[in-house]
Amino acid sequence: ASIGPSVFRDVSCGSAVTDNMTQPQSVPLGGSNPPQFNALSADAKLVTVGIGGNDADLVRIAESCVSIDALSPTGSPCKNHHTVAGRDTAAAGVDAIAAKIAAVLRGVHTHSPHARTLIVGYPAVLPLTGPGCWPIVPLSSGDVPWFRSLLVRINHVLAVQALADGAEYVDTYTGSVGHDVCQLPDRRWFEGVLPTMPAFPLHPNALGEASMARSVL
């Protein structure tokens, strides 16, 4: 509404990965969404895309942390679980999406060569500092900064690829600091394991989505 487009197409969908730009996405209860690139056109003026977190498996990793950390207020058992032979497999998974993000941006440019292209980063779901708020959000004190570093890391990957591929990176992290999952409900823009507002667990609620929209604008 703020930019008043003459035509607006929204094909975003939860759980999508970069493959779903060019391949159908299966959805619950059967059926599928067509490839998201089907919505692009040669005369498009603006394209925004938020992608990458599912390719890096960040939600599944967060869910594993909730289970692993449920009885551990301190330490970093989830980071330890995802470290194999001294290698942080979660961080490696984030780094590995760079080529996939580059392919998405090239695909957008091919289908919509005149469009201003924005890739939207990830917000500050966890507190900027401190040990978190176990057991309300059951992440151990050492795993909070570790998972926070994964969010910062994926945003860096997105920003670097945007710069390299003629797109623009949208920082949603800065504008959402102080409204993380550990805040009281009236200040919380992102829901924890048990949402207090209508939203999927570990995802933005309506206030968080509005914040991300402001960042895009």
Question: For the residues of 2-33, what is the DSSP string, one character each?
Answer: -S--SS------TT--GGGGTS-EE-TTS-EE
pLDDT score at 28 = 87
How do residues 114-158 score in pLDDT, each as one tens digit?
999 999 999 999 999 999 999 999 999 999 999 999 999 999 999
pLDDT score at 193 = 84
Q: Is residue 15 within 8 Å of 85, Cβ to Cβ?
A: no
Tokens of 40: 């692009």
Tokens of 192: 């924890």
Tell me how far apart the alpha carbons of residues 114 and 44 are, in angstroms, rounded to a whole number. Answer: 7
192 pLDDT tier (thresholds 50, 70, 90): confident
Question: Which amino acid does the sequence have at 185?
Answer: P
How many residues can be counted in the chain? Answer: 217
How do residues 62-111 score in pLDDT, each as one tens digit?
999 999 999 999 999 999 999 999 999 999 999 999 999 999 999 999 99
Tell me how far apart the alpha carbons of residues 210 and 194 are, in angstroms, rounded to a whole number. Answer: 21
Tell me how far apart the alpha carbons of residues 67 and 65 are, in angstroms, rounded to a whole number. Answer: 5
